[in-house]
Structure 1
Amino acid sequence: MGTDDKIDAKADELKGKVKETAGRATDDEDLQAEGEGDQVKGNLKQAGEKVKDIFK
């Protein structure tokens, strides 16, 4: 299950980067902010997975 969670976290981060880039390209501040939020969410998930790995 850990690998799936890591993949999910990385997917959130990458999805966020795409949204942020699209938002910048189209001057859509809402999309850009949503992308930045997705990246933060993905980074937090990845940090949580790393903590879990430390305690295994």
Structure 2
Amino acid sequence: MHRILARIRIAKLQSEIRAKAGSETQGVPVRRKRALSASSTGKKSPSPVLGRK
């Protein structure tokens, strides 16, 4: 279980960095970034990770 949580945490960090870099270079809309991150996290973890912390 712990390994899965760690992997999700790393994926979140990577997606955040990617979103920041993308917004800086391309000017990606915040709404689209939020939608993408929400959908990806929802697929990976059915139960909220922050709540289990």
In the superposition, the TM-score normalised over structure 1's length comes to 0.53
Give the structure with the higher percent helix: 1
Q: CA deviation digits over 1:22-51, x for unaligned, max 9? A: 00110164xxx68x63x342x33344476x
Q: Distance in 1 between matches of 2:19 and 2:46?
A: 21
Return 5+ residue gaps in structure 2 as ranges: none
Q: Who is 2:19 aligned against?
A: 20
**Where in structure 1 do 4 or more consecutive aligned residues deviate above 6 Å?**
none
Structure number with the bigger relative contact order (C-alpha 8 A, sep ≥ 6) is 2
Q: Identity of paired residues, percent?
A: 11
The size of the alignment, in residue pairs, is: 44
1:8 counterpart residue number: 7
Q: TM-score scaled to structure 2, two decimals? A: 0.56
